[in-house]
Structure 1
């Protein structure tokens, strides 16, 4: 495995260039941009970047030797503090009036959208692109880990930290496995060798954000364009409607528990920490498998990974063994530790389908399920608070925090108490609202007991409660 933190800075060049270039990344502390930084440097390029706020991710990049500065300013381009820049990379969410973008255009420096860069990587050789509304990070991680275990030496671009790769990126000589995020509208113009299509719902739809889709139909049409531009698609047959979205792709394969699926998970045997199952391909057995993360959705994610191992000619048994040891990427059913006999888990679930899946996984453990939930974004809460409330109903206890704004302005009348009121009206007797996070932490400290499962849940900073309970220090 290539260690990207110590990879040489004068090796093979990235797609689109015959010699090393200087890439400057706006928002380098983001989970996607930081992965680009590591991949580009491992391919021999000079990489610098800036971010509005310094974070554990930017600190880690600096520790790895990257040049990172706080804030955004034209001087990063005009005064060249990191040396002459060849390519400035930015997401579509960055406004065109951004000072560094304007300075780069005035200086004749190429400005490359982040999705265009991902497209070049996907086109540079055998590639697997994971699309869908839910499960992309986990599925991408599982595919990369399974291919690695199967001896196929993948490269990887992941929207989360993978312990096996010591980060969110990996450089190898095999297929390039990438998470392709539909929150960036530019993904619709890409394609890859093998598209993995997990599901399609209505996330990242509506509102004024530049990267959001105006309608769910527009977003789903974008999924269909990505699939049609790819060499083949492997889609989840258990998710209704995906077949129609894949109609433009003549080479279609399916996975799921459905009888008609090409790749099937059969003989599922769940336990408190995961699920044993067997994999068949068009009725013929491929081998036994296990996913060491509870929840039916993780069986499907693991099945997709093992299907990719089979498609690319890897050693199925070795890939399955590697996957059985995988405990998931950061913030996806991440085991933080214990407190007072309670098991403490953190999960990124933030929309209703993900929340329902995480609660189902929690119930599989057989423990008393206590969820600390932080709604994410005012717009998402406005659109889905009834579904969020319904998704949380199966938890034994729910502690609700204030909405994580994620830079959105408040929307009048949209508040966490909407979820609270609906759950109480539907008869949940152990749901409460905690505007003071310190008091919520104190309550958990006082009440944690053996047999409890405490799950911090949401896309904001709710994980800090679990960190404080267990003493976890994040890199």
Structure 2
């Protein structure tokens, strides 16, 4: 197998021309940057132009808007050596067909990540919640502790100004379980945050048929890793990690190897004490509210300690960290109200985001956009329950994400259940202009407004705060 050096230094790997389908996506764009930093020629295409594709072009990476078989063989891109595509791309797509006909290697996205991870000091972050934030925190903590991590992240990390970082190592990567190929990957340390039933059901290429099949994928990934750092607070993880004898745990649970104790939350984050095997390592702070972010930061500090980094410097870097894009991202203010945008889109993430908002002590006003018809069909009662602790909820229509509608599945299922359970301030409000008018007329200094969901609800946060989308 070909290996890339995490620091971008020369290797015996020949220079190849990689063409990435969907290069404007958060994962593919990170691949493009890492490959280019290693001296490979990189081009790509996407269905539409975006800020990310513009940034890649400014960095010297060739990008075409639209897809076509000519990208494989004809100028200005072709002929290419390797076509990289995710499992979500249909096998009869013209570019894949053209590549096979030309004898061009078609490399799955996960196979490319496997090449990057297959080094002794790599760190792969898995789990159904918190991967992007935890991966970002690990990279930031390692860099703060005096190490030089390389990173592959599913979000823009403000400290790096990018979703990728080139460095001498360790190499830290977010490993997405929505691509079933993840289970075959190997890494030095697997960081396992949690395991739930996200990306399960339906006939999509990026979904698992059953939760048992998905969890078996987690177990395989962990068993192939050099060691696993698992969250002791999440039920069932220890059993999924039984195939790896080198287990280390983190959490608030009494038996965890790395523990966060004496939590002291405030409006902007949480101070806490870190212990390892009962001995105090030091004080730490996470500048993002919510207990889940304490656990994410604890995982980052544990990884840093396992790699010999300085604890105090890592803790200082995390105290200054304000989160990757769309993960509790502070957008601005409206009439003195704080405007936050968050990617939360399943019930556990939504409940955590609402809890984080409550920690600020403000009136919690959520604009929620359900994501996908299948996900809503599977979880609308849990989504309704997760939103109950918000003071007010304005519900948008479901973001389809290319799915066809499912009869009887509608955002009003959530609002109706909430009303039946006694929530008096939940409204279905599909007209976005009405959402903006309502909040502009009623927002005040004691409020926090959180736009929440995996669709395009983020645009409303920018409109409310008066900043460019």
Band of TM-score, shorter chain: over 0.9
**How far off its partner does 1:12 sit?**
7.8
Summarize deviations over 1:283-336 as a string: whole Å, max 9, x none: 111111000000000000000000001000001100100010000000000000
2: CA distance, partners of 1:230 / 1:19: 28
**How far off its partner does 1:473 sit?**
2.5
Q: Which residue in the other structure is 2:97 paired with?
A: 102
Q: Which residue in the other structure is 2:247 paired with?
A: 252
Correspondent of 1:219 among 202, 214, 218 = 214
Query: Any conservation in 2 of the 1:16–1:120 contact (CA below 8 Å)?
Result: no
Correspondent of 1:325 among 295, 320, 327 = 320
Query: Any conservation in 2 of the 1:185–1:213 contact (CA below 8 Å)?
Result: yes
2: CA distance, partners of 1:319 / 1:447: 41
**1:67-466 paired onto structure 2 within 5 Å:** 67-466=62-461
The 1:128–1:106 alpha-carbon spacing in structure 2 relative to 1, beyond 3 Å, is same
Query: Any conservation in 2 of the 1:31–1:168 contact (CA below 8 Å)?
Result: yes
Query: Any conservation in 2 of the 1:277–1:290 contact (CA below 8 Å)?
Result: yes
Asked if 1:470 is matched to 2:465, the reply is: yes
**Secondary structure at the residue paired with 1:383?**
helix
**How far off its partner does 1:16 sit?**
9.2
Summarize deviations over 1:334-393 as a string: whole Å, max 9, x none: 000111010000000000000000000000000000000000000000000000000000
**Secondary structure at the residue paired with 1:164?**
coil
**How far off its partner does 1:124 sit?**
3.4
**Secondary structure at the residue paired with 2:159?**
helix
**How far off its partner does 1:22 sit?**
0.8
2: CA distance, partners of 1:473 / 1:136: 27
Summarize deviations over 1:104-146 as a string: whole Å, max 9, x none: 1111111100000000000134200000000000000000000
Summarize deviations over 1:41-100 as a string: whole Å, max 9, x none: 011111000011222211221222211111111111121322431111000111111111
- Which 10-residue stretch deviates more, 241-250 or 123-132? 123-132
**How far off its partner does 1:14 sit?**
8.8
Query: Any conservation in 2 of the 1:279–1:288 contact (CA below 8 Å)?
Result: yes
**Secondary structure at the residue paired with 1:343?**
strand
**How far off its partner does 1:19 sit?**
2.0
User: TM (normalized to structure 1)?
Assistant: 0.96
Query: Any conservation in 2 of the 1:362–1:369 contact (CA below 8 Å)?
Result: yes
**How far off its partner does 1:239 sit?**
0.2
The 1:17–1:94 alpha-carbon spacing in structure 2 relative to 1, beyond 3 Å, is farther
**How far off its partner does 1:15 sit?**
10
Provide the alpha-carbon RMSD of the alignment. 1.3
The 1:249–1:462 alpha-carbon spacing in structure 2 relative to 1, beyond 3 Å, is same
2: CA distance, partners of 1:288 / 1:88: 47
2: CA distance, partners of 1:54 / 1:99: 20
Query: Any conservation in 2 of the 1:14–1:40 contact (CA below 8 Å)?
Result: no
Query: Any conservation in 2 of the 1:13–1:45 contact (CA below 8 Å)?
Result: no
1: CA distance, partners of 2:101 / 2:261: 59
2: CA distance, partners of 1:322 / 1:302: 11
The 1:262–1:15 alpha-carbon spacing in structure 2 relative to 1, beyond 3 Å, is farther
Query: Any conservation in 2 of the 1:232–1:249 contact (CA below 8 Å)?
Result: yes
Query: Any conservation in 1 of the 2:7–2:168 contact (CA below 8 Å)?
Result: no
- Structure 2 unaligned spans of 5+: 1-5
2: CA distance, partners of 1:440 / 1:237: 41
The 1:31–1:69 alpha-carbon spacing in structure 2 relative to 1, beyond 3 Å, is same
1: CA distance, partners of 2:222 / 2:12: 27
1: CA distance, partners of 2:182 / 2:287: 31
Query: Any conservation in 2 of the 1:125–1:176 contact (CA below 8 Å)?
Result: no
1: CA distance, partners of 2:376 / 2:214: 19
Query: Any conservation in 1 of the 2:119–2:187 contact (CA below 8 Å)?
Result: no
